Structure 1
């Protein structure tokens, strides 16, 4: 539903003319080629800060640690116009990209040599007309799109009544403190958009987590819990061991892991089927997978082990709680008859969704912008994009209506990025509203150093 200040074809032409696709591509590649594994985001964050400063977006750093800071820039904020329009719209994207740890003592237990050698983990390039590399896909390609969107609005002379927040956050990928991997060095989401929301000096009316969604949108986000299933047994001196007929009766709990994983596999299929969730904001299909197993001490091998632990990642739709999983897993292990098993969540993050009525103006704006930009309506995103954690969860958690939307996820073209930048800019124009005409909107006399900045 269009607002009285609806965006027009003229706006599309003016803003599209201000988007330099080559500049956008170069920005995405430059930013994408800065190593930024989770925990090592400082250099990428500094680059974004310096870019915002050069372009006049008055950036600030706000972080839980000196090296892992959020970057916050602003554009607009000239005040509500006479028609009452002037909402604040926050764009966010994460600086960290999933990759191996590059600690050989850890990576050897998770990745094959071929996987470790994949150059796309940390390097980005343009080849055969598409942008390659994980950092472009998640998430510095979409980040570059909203940065260029803000620059295009400024270049085209659009002052915004409300504020357009431009934010880059560490830690969205993870990690999570688990077992001995504890402390602030292992914090992930707690120091990113969570920290930004509480300490970043932002007051958005709406938020967009800019991530690849193949130009779809969703206001639904899944959470997750990691459960440790600790299977107990007896340590037996190897020369004294007498093997039972069935592995399920073995005193060493490692021998009983197979029976437990068979039970888990059956439980997983039922849990996933029952967890599917659909609303106007999207379809969530949370998934379950074992992510690690630990048992015994390899260099102390004389008497087996008394305990083996399985770590189970369980996706949570917006209506599920960790307690639901706890009860279901405990019932499953009792029925499996594998012996003593302790079930404990070691990480919990619930999922969230926006109130349909409250988020509707943002979805309408994205739809209008997509119709102008791509000549087609904005559809709900593929369920995979509603079935994972994305940082729109942070804002929906705190009653700020939020969605995730963005360009083609995997190997976008430069045109895909330019189209996304145009959609972001048009969306901001509709949500934030045009500043009044005259000197305040032009900024020449009122804001001589930063015409449209906050």
Structure 2
């Protein structure tokens, strides 16, 4: 197996066996379990992160960490805790997001997106232990990993190990959330702009390295995909139904909804080639830019009777760290131009590019994480599954700003209390290796 880093890579500090034992003895599994459950059971849909953020802030204050908040609005704050900084060591930043994947609070949106049994799933907002494993999406994504690095910092402090460099502990809103779109505008619909991105620019943090703590099944990657959402508007003519002259060929129908079939077929075929052609594999991960039609909007059932002039298709297109949005834009434009449509517009209504860390610059962090993983799990650190390097995670924010960053963490699905304990120990040892011990 190819090494994840150059064998000559040096870490800022070498963690001793005695230090590992001291940190491990300072991590209490029951305490960590209760922290994860308490934090995970605070409802925290995107836009509703305030209570969870306040919980983290209070926990940091009670545990004696320097603590502050920063945010675009009062109810969507980034929480920052600090530990160490007693010397001239490197600074490491941990980040995880407060918001949780969940249906909207808008019943109309939910009715058109989810089946009733999907909406009824208690795991959207609730977390519990069952048969020795955690259940509930909030712990899996992302307050379980958040609890792990909070406990890692507490263990270092409890073990009497101060750090030369600074350790930043950050909990951010908006990483999962929606994007401002059409009638849904304003700060409550902001996602990634007000979380780690806002934190980087306004949070008073100066990180040499960063770890986005998220479930990676113990793997690591330092690259991530972005995405573009293209709105394709098919243009036609709404005709009063009683005077409509129906053609046998649906493609001749004036209502652009009738052109959906050939457009969907063409986009689907294009997607197969796009994913294969732009598959990107590097030493830091494997990224596949997937494509999916996420939504369709046309006409109004309230004012039926004359079809519609416009039918909109929303196509999500993944972007690897080697791509820009202009590539799929031009490819889709050429595709649509070849279909003989009555008319169309194509617009990228959301664009976020993917990023990757410089291999040499991120190597000390990867080696530190690898050594900690081997010491705790007894197995080598490996690259994360391509799914984890084919999505947006907040390590993209830091790699975008040339701060070497990775995403790594515990099992994403059905983690156990021991998984959280192991993850906390790995994070603590990595922090010590990067920041160094204050003397």
Q: Would you say same fold, with TM above 0.5?
A: yes
CA contact (8 A) 1:2 1:368 kept: no
- Give the Å deviation of 1:302: 1.7
SS at match of 1:408: coil
What RMSD, in angstroms, separates the aligned Cα atoms of the two structures?
A: 0.8
Alignment of 1:53-68 (within 5 A): 53-68=61-76
Give the distance between the partners of 2:279 and 2:140, measured in 1 at CA: 26
* 8 A Cα contact 1:214 1:408, kept in partner: yes
1:284 aligns with 2:291: no
1:226-305 → structure 2 map (5 Å cutoff)? 226-305=229-308
Residue 179 of structure 2 corresponds to residue 176 of structure 1: yes
Q: Alpha-carbon deviation of 1:102?
A: 2.6
Determine the C-alpha separation between the residues in 2 that align with 1:208 and 1:327. Answer: 35
Is contact 1:260–1:338 with CA below 8 Å preserved after alignment? no
Which of 33, 36, 47 is 1:28 aligned to? 36
Contact kept, 8 Å, 2:13 with 2:432, in 1: the verdict is no
Spell out, residue by residue over 1:284-326, the C-alpha distance to the aligned partner (whole angstroms, 9 max, x if none): 0121111111000111112110100000111100011111111
Shift of 1:9: 2.0
Mapping for residues 339-358 of structure 1, pairs under 5 Å: 339-358=342-361
- For residues 302-341 of structure 1, the aligned pairs below 5 Å read 302-341=305-344
Instruction: Report if the CA contact (8 A) 2:13-2:434 is conserved.
Output: no
What corresponds to 2:136 in structure 1? 133
| In 2, Cα distance between equivalents of 1:4 and 1:132 | 38
What is the CA–CA distance in structure 1 between the aligned matches of 2:124 and 2:388, rounded to whole Å? 21
1:2 deviates by 4.9
Secondary structure at the aligned position of 1:326 is classed as helix
Q: Which 4+ stretches in 1 moved above 4 angstroms?
A: none
Would the aligned equivalents of 1:124 and 1:132 in 2 still touch at CA under 8 Å? yes
| Structure 2 gap segments, 5+ residues each | 1-8
* Aligned mates of 2:13, 2:352 — CA distance in 1: 39
- Give the TM-score normalised by the residue count of structure 2: 0.97
**Where do 1:28-177 residues align within 5 Å?**
28-80=36-88, 86-177=89-180
Is the 8 Å Cα contact of residues 222 and 405 (structure 2) preserved in structure 1? yes
Three-state SS of the structure 2 residue aligned to 1:336 is: coil
Provide the secondary structure at the position in 1 that maps to 2:301.
Answer: coil
How far is the alpha carbon of 1:185 from its aligned partner?
A: 1.6
Is 2:12–2:364's contact at 8 Å kept on the other side of the alignment? Answer: no
1:183-194 mapped onto 2 (5 Å cutoff): 183-194=186-197
The aligned residue for residue 14 of structure 1 is 22
**SS of alignment partner, residue 60 of structure 1:** strand
TM-score normalised according to structure 1 size = 0.94
Stretches of structure 1 that go unaligned for 5 or more consecutive residues are 81-85, 437-454
